[in-house]
Structure formats: structure tokens, C-alpha cells
Homo-oligomer: A and B are copies of this chain.
Amino acid sequence: FGLFIQFQAGMSPKITVELLRKLRQVMKGSKYVAEPIQAYIIPSGDAHQSEYIAPCDCRREFICGFNGSAGTAIVTEQHAAMWTDGRYFLQASQQMDNNWTLMKMGLKETLSQEDWLISVLPENSKVGVDPWIIAADQWKTLAKALSSAGHSLVAVQQNLIDAIWEDRPARPSTQLSALGLKYTGLRWQDKVMQLRAKMAERKISWFVVTALDEVAWLFNLRGSDIEYNPVFFAYAIIGMNSIRLFLDEKRTADPVVRDHLVLTEPSKAELHVECLPYQRVHDELQAVCSTLGPKDKVWICDKASCALTQAIPKMHRAPIPYTPLCLAKAVKNPTEIQGMRMAHIKDAVALCELFTCRNKIKPSDKITLSLLFASSQQKDFVGLSFPTISSVGPNGAIIHYRPLPETNRTLSLTELYLIDSGAQYRDGTTDVTRTMHFGTPTDYEKECFTYVLKGHIAVSAAVFPNGTKGHLLDSFARAALWDSGLDYLHGTGHGVGCFLNVHEGPCGISYKTFADEPLEAGMILSDEPGYYEDGSFGIRLENVVLVVPTKPKYNYRNRGSLTFEPITLVPIQLKMIRSELLTQKERDWLNDYHRKCQEIIGAELERQGRKEALDWLIRETQPIM
């Protein structure tokens, strides 16, 4: 499962006349802005760089009706425009009324937000934005472009959408749960100490934690403030002798939290957690910064909000693309690895159950429910890790299809079926995709499937030196497709959290060169090449894989080598494979993989007394020649 697309059923446009009138009123009025502003920018996203956001943060959707995962709206006195990318052109045009202009990003003729603003604004305009939901680096670029054209970018502290959003949902503050050593492998106190060691190494005095999964990982706490992600709204400021945690005050009263964070009894001063209200983070950070010596430096992620970043005086600011917590979280410890293995075994059991009884249930949305039911029977099941993609035939070509009443198709014996699902268990997060045919696939479908399988194996079995970055492996996944003139237009893999977000940095396998960090033993990623034929079918084959050390014949410059070990253990449908297109090495890989599935998942199915599923598993994992 790659990039998430939030897509809901209603596709009639939202009527925005009245909303825009109100917004333009507050843009002019003196209640929220010192001087009238001529334009207001409404980005997607929350104050924590989250990929998934809570309903209270869906401000761009509120103002224009478009609910895709990516898009920025800008409202001026005369115009309202919304920028989004090619994945969403159709959806956005259906969800927005004609008060809005759709700005199609990626097309040559489409102006950038800066250029558009400059083209429509009167001289000396003020452009407002909420500094909490714009990243510091974006602010900088935008401010520069605007000022070079005689305008200025201003931070509007009160969010103007919130000001006009009458029934805006409250910010969630769900029950928190504490994870014990059995799940985390490391006490939060030890994580703090390790973090401080890294800060000392780099001569850093303070670190501001802004990403929700980093706060959750650091303190071994989980919540459910955001759907699919077991996180909760919080910030932290870690000093060498102090720990400040900012979260909804009522949470601090929770005995579970008090106990876990040792709030009740006096603890060692440097491990004492001072809990403060969520809203106080900015003022506290300013207070901290006012005590800094001339050489003190404060770490903050360069994607953190402009508001928090600018609270740190420039001379003390040390922005980093990936925080030490992001890196530490990515390298799973033995307990986490074991948890991820267990979670994937349970997930495989649920999928085997589902595939066994596939004949009893037909429409693809019903399969989603069946799977949810099967997963929920497994120990420590918490919920899904993303909305299940369950698509039949041509729907499979829509890379992140979610069954909708209008487009739902029924499983058939003549079409390919693609299921991409994942769950949150207390011991780990899963993500797996299988493509199957329940009748007789065409030779062409099998050929494409086999190329995708070859790509999957090429990555999974790759041996590469320590220090290699994931993007260098991306072409391995495509070579077989390229050889036949085929390709897929998404990345090959993403980091996977451990009972955390299903997408996490700082590693990935993609043709897009982003500043990824080298792969390390203990990291967990997805390996998910695909092939999609518009209007016909979609194929994707995804395992979650663990980076492990390996010892090839030689060891050049003592660098050591790495490879991947699949953690997902779900059969790959043999019927779809044109065995003659595989090399002997690829056949060996497949047989070995299926042997492992049979052994490990078979044992678990047996233990759980799932006889029918076990029979199915054994049938589906026979070696090929």
C-alpha cells in the first residue's frame, strides 16, 4: 500500500457560495487580522506533518468540498482556486462547485501558487496563512516569491476557516494506552537517554518533537486520535535534563498515563516528565529559547510548522530532514521485529481464512468486511492500518481504489481480483497485497503478473552493501517490466511502523530521489511492484520485508552486505505464474517462500484449528518446477 487517497462516497459538488462570503468577510474584518488580507491560503494537513489527518483538520475539504489527500486552496477577494495533482483531477472537478477553479498541477499551462497570486493580486497585497499548518521551508519559499513581487506573506494566528466553521469537530482526545516492554523492547526512559546521547554527540541542547508517531514511539504510548494511525495529538521538548510533554490536560489525569510516565512519584530529575497543555508548546519553546547560551542549538524537523520553527531564534535553530527519533524508530529492535513477525502471521491467518471462504461472499466491499472480521478474531487486533483496497477487474487499475456503492463490482471467474490490506495489532502493523484470479486468467494477465513477480523477487532477493540507499534498488523491481515495454507509475516500497503508521520515513524504494537514508539491518519496508492497465486490470504484489545482514562469498572493504527477509507470509497464486518466464533462481526463491508460508502459517492455522484454511494453504504452496 503506497500513497493514501482519502475518498468518500458523496461525489456531488459542495455548495460554497455562503462559506466563501463568510471567509472573505473575516479576511477583511479586524477581528482576526490586524489589517485586511487580500488572499488566504488553506493548505492540507495538520500541525504535525501528518499524512492522515483528523476531521477537525480537514479545513481545505471544508472550504472547497474536495477531500483528496493532497491539495491547497487559495481564496482572494475575487477568486477561489485549488491546486491538486493528476491523481485527483476528476475527483476534484466533481467535488467542487463553480466558485472554484481547479488548478491542475503538473500541466505546463498551470501557474504555480506564487505565480497565480502575483497575477491576480492588486499591488502591495497581504497574503495570509495559518503558520501552524504551513511548513517552515514552504513559508520561506512563498514569502520570498511574494516579497519579490511587492506583496507580503503574513501569519494569521487564528485560523480563519475555524472562525467560520460552525460545527467543526473537536480535536480528538482518545484514551491512551501504554505499551509495556513486551511490545516495545525498550523503556521510554531508555529511549530518552539514547536520544540525549545523540544530542550530546552532535552538541545539541534541545530537541522539539513535532511528528505524532515520534512522540508515540518515544513515550511508548498509543492513542486513536487519527483513523488508522495509533497516535495522539502531542508535542514534546526534550532537554538534557528535562522532558516536557504537551497534550490535552485531561489525558494527564488518566491513571494509566500517570503510572506509565511515573508522574505520581518523584523520579530522577532528568527523567521527570512535565506534562503541559497541548496549546502551550509555542510559549514554552520560546521560554526555553530565552535561556539559551550563544552556542546552544535546537533540533527541529525541517518539515515542522513555521510557527514552531520560528519560535526558535535563527542562531539557535538546527533544522534536520530526519530527526534522530525518526531514524531510531526505523531500525526495529529484536522485540519489535518479533512483534512485526507475529502480526504478519496473524494477518496471514486472516487472509487464508478469507481466501478459503471466498465463494460464500461476492461483492468486493463485502470482502473487505469479511477480512475485517477475520482479522479482528486475531489476538491484539486494534484496527485497520489503512482502508482496505479490494478491487475487481478494471477497478484494480485505479491504484488506490476503495469500494464505493457506485463502482463496486462483484468477484467473477473472468476478472482479476486485487486486495491490499493492513491492520494494527498491538505487536505490529501489517500491509500486504495479493492479486488473484478465481477462474482462468489470460496468458497476457499471467505474463504481466509474472513480470511483477520477477520484480518483486529481484528486490526481495537483492544483496547490496551496507550504506546503500533504498532508491538504488528501485530499478531492480522494474527491469522485467521494462524489458517488455511495461512499467508502473508509483514507488516500490515505503517504511512500515511497528504498531504505528503504515508509512514512515526515512527510507523507501523509489525512482524519485528524495533525501533517503541508507538502509540498515532491522529496518522494515514494503516491496510492492505492480502493473496497471487502464480499464482492464491491476496487479500488485506486496510483502513487508525486513533488512537483514547476509554473508556473500566476499566482503569488499569489510563493508558487509544486506538483503531482505519477507515477513509477510501469504501464498502467491501459482495459477497466475508463467513458470517458463522465471529463472531457476526465481523459482527457487518462490518455492522457498512457499515452503516457509506452509511451515509457519500452517502451524498457526493448525494451532487455531482452522482446518479448511490449512488445506487451502497447503494446496496453494506446492512447489513449482
Which residues, 454 to 481 on A, are CB-close (under 8 Å) to B? 462-465, 471-476, 478-479, 481
Partner-binding segment picked from A22-30, A178-186, A539-547, A548-556: A548-556
Are B484 and A465 in touch, CB under 8 angstroms?
Answer: no
Choose one: B148, B485, B552, B554; the contact of A556 (CB below 8 Å).
B485
Is the CB of A482 closer than 8 A to any CB of chain B?
yes
Q: Which residue of B lies closest to A513 (CB)?
A: B513
* A473: B residues at CB distance < 8 A: 475
Are A465 and B487 in touch, CB under 8 angstroms?
Answer: yes
Are A479 and B482 in touch, CB under 8 angstroms?
Answer: no
Are A474 and B476 in touch, CB under 8 angstroms?
Answer: no
Q: Which residue of B lies closest to A448 (CB)?
A: B554
Is the CB of A7 closer than 8 A to any CB of chain B?
no
Are A482 and B513 in touch, CB under 8 angstroms?
Answer: no
Are A482 and B465 in touch, CB under 8 angstroms?
Answer: yes
Are B511 and A482 in touch, CB under 8 angstroms?
Answer: no
Is the CB of A561 closer than 8 A to any CB of chain B?
yes
Choose one: B475, B551, B552, B554; the contact of A476 (CB below 8 Å).
B475
Q: In the docked arrangement, what's the CA distance between A557 and B511, Å?
A: 18
Choose one: B471, B485, B554; the contact of A553 (CB below 8 Å).
B485
Choose one: B463, B471, B481, B557; the contact of A513 (CB below 8 Å).
B471
* A148: B residues at CB distance < 8 A: 315
Q: In the docked arrangement, what's the CA distance between A559 and B556, Å?
A: 39
Q: In the docked arrangement, what's the CA distance between A513 and B483, Å?
A: 24
Q: Count of chain A residues with Cβ under 8 Å from any Cβ of B?
A: 33
User: With A511-B472, A513-B471 in contact, do A483 and B556 touch (Cβ < 8 Å)?
Assistant: no
Q: Which residue of B lies closest to A561 (CB)?
A: B485
Q: In the docked arrangement, what's the CA distance between A514 and B479, Å?
A: 22
Are A556 and B464 in touch, CB under 8 angstroms?
Answer: no
* A275: B residues at CB distance < 8 A: none
Are B484 and A464 in touch, CB under 8 angstroms?
Answer: no
Is the CB of A486 closer than 8 A to any CB of chain B?
yes
* A583: B residues at CB distance < 8 A: 583
A478, A556, A583 — which one has the most chain B CB atoms within 10 A of its CB? A556
Choose one: B463, B474, B481; the contact of A472 (CB below 8 Å).
B474
Choose one: B462, B476, B555; the contact of A485 (CB below 8 Å).
B555
Q: In the docked arrangement, what's the CA distance between A551 and B479, Å?
A: 15
Choose one: B479, B555, B556; the contact of A462 (CB below 8 Å).
B479
* A511: B residues at CB distance < 8 A: 472
Q: In the docked arrangement, what's the CA distance between A486 and B555, Å?
A: 6
Given contacts A485-B554, A583-B583, 12 further A-B contacts (CB under 8 A): A463-B483, A464-B475, A465-B485, A465-B487, A472-B475, A475-B475, A475-B476, A476-B479, A485-B553, A485-B556, A486-B554, A487-B556
Return the 6 tightest CB-CB contacts between A and B, nearest first.
Answer: A485-B552, A485-B554, A513-B513, A484-B553, A486-B556, A472-B475
A-B contacts, 27 listed (Cβ < 8 Å): A148-B315, A462-B482, A463-B482, A463-B485, A464-B475, A464-B478, A465-B482, A465-B487, A471-B513, A475-B476, A481-B556, A482-B552, A482-B561, A484-B552, A484-B553, A484-B554, A485-B551, A485-B553, A485-B554, A485-B556, A485-B561, A486-B554, A487-B556, A487-B557, A487-B559, A513-B513, A583-B583
Binding site for B on A (CB under 8 A): 148, 315, 462-465, 471-476, 478-479, 481-487, 511, 513, 551-557, 559, 561, 583
